[in-house]
């Protein structure tokens, strides 16, 4: 998931609790904010931003703990993420929102609570309140994170959220060995001034805490923004079922399932950001 060579400007805003929130800006047109998933950062969505910047002013948010943004903070929760987006919307006048994975969960909650959002598109949001996955693996994940064993923690995470596919997965020990090799390699391939994947992995525990927090939520039935729900045909069945459940509750929602791709579709490198961008251009208003 290496970054692509895209020219962009940078900026920062101050969130409600005083935390600095950084972003990358490129393009011209209606304002569109991209919200990253999990341990990912703005650097991993630049191919998608480049594919959109001929139509929109694209603001690629660095969520807390990433890039130019400040730390998550002791009082981190979903409300902080929504306040960060609110600060960026207020600064830029943007009204369009896209989120991937846990960023999709955040984008939906922001659209629910922030009147400025007119349209929201999400790619495979982490819908813990719709039973996308159970949460019984979280205590083990937290213990492994506390021990600094990020490879073990990520195996626990992946096995937890993809339980229905474990019959074809690597045995746990081999999976951990493969991740340790991958993390060693990734420490050498990131650009100067950007975090490597192993440096970003510990942020996954904050997203897991969002899953737990939002599991008791009533969902998004009151959401009044226009909504585009996206998923990939290769994604595990629980994600599809959760999106089905969400779609059934939304008064105004479109649904697109992309052939040949899975959860990584919006990302640089391994994904299909051009295909995602084409769907977003068709959904978001941008004039003639």
Please identify, in words, the CATH class of the domain defined by 9-134+217-283.
alpha beta
- Whether 150 has a pLDDT exceeding 50, the answer reads yes
Can you tell me the mean pLDDT for 149-173?
Answer: 78
Question: Structural domain boundaries of the chain?
Answer: 9-134+217-283, 138-197
Give the gyration radius of the chain's Cα atoms: 18
Strands 119-123, 253-258: parallel, antiparallel or unpaired by DSSP? Answer: unpaired
Give the span between the Cα atoms of 263 and 94, in whole angstroms: 26
DSSP codes, 36-68: --TT--GGGGHHHHHHHTTTSEEEEEE-TTSTT
Taking the C-alpha atoms of residue 182 and residue 41, their distance in angstroms, rounded to an integer, is 18
Tracing tokens 């304002």 back to the chain, one arrives at 31
Is 60 exceeded by the pLDDT of residue 165? no
pTM of the model: 0.93
> Quick one: average pLDDT of 20-27?
97
For the stretch 240-253, pLDDT in tens is: 889 999 999 997 89
Give bridge partners of residue 9 from the DSSP assignment: 25
- The dihedral region occupied by 261, where left means phi > 0, alpha psi between -120 and 50, and beta the remainder, is beta
Percent of the chain with pLDDT over 70: 95
pLDDT at 169: 60
Which tens digits make up the pLDDT trace of 32-86?
999 999 999 999 999 999 999 999 999 999 999 999 999 999 899 999 999 999 9
DSSP result, 62-107: E-TTSTTS----TT-SHHHHHHHHHHHHHHH---EEEEETHHHHHH
Phi-psi region of 139 (alpha: psi -120 to 50; beta: other; left: phi over 0): alpha
Say whether 122 sits in a helix, a strand or coil: strand
Q: Residue 102 is inside which H or E element, if any?
A: helix 102-113
């Amino acid at each position: 998931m290496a970054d692509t060579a895209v020219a962009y400007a940078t900026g920062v805003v101050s969130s409600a609790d005083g935390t600095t929130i950084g972003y990358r800006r490129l393009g011209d047109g209606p304002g569109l904010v991209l919200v990253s998933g999990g341990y990912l950062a703005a650097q991993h969505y630049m191919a998608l931003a480049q594919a959109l910047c001929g139509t929109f002013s694209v603001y690629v948010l660095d969520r807390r703990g990433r890039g130019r943004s400040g730390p998550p903070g002791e009082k981190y929760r979903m409300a902080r993420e929504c306040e960060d987006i609110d600060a960026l919307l207020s600064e830029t006048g943007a009204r369009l929102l896209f989120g991937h994975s846990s960023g999709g969960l955040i984008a939906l909650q922001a659209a629910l609570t922030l009147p400025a959002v007119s349209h929201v598109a999400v790619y495979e949001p982490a819908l813990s309140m719709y039973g996308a996955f159970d949460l019984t693996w979280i205590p083990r994940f937290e213990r492994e994170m506390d021990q600094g064993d990020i490879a073990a923690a990520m195996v626990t995470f992946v096995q937890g959220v993809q339980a229905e596919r474990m019959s074809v997965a690597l045995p746990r020990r081999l999976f951990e060995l493969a991740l340790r090799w991958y993390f060693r390699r990734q420490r050498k391939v990131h650009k100067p001034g950007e975090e490597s994947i192993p440096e970003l992995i510990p942020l996954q525990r904050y997203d897991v805490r969002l899953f737990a927090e939002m599991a008791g939520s009533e969902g998004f039935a009151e959401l009044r923004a226009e909504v585009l729900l996206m998923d990939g045909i290769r994604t595990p069945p629980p994600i599809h079922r959760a999106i089905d459940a969400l779609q059934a509750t939304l008064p105004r929602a479109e649904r697109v399932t992309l052939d040949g791709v899975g959860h990584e579709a919006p990302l640089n490198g391994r994904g299909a950001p051009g295909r995602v961008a084409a769907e977003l251009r068709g959904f978001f208003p941008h004039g003639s």
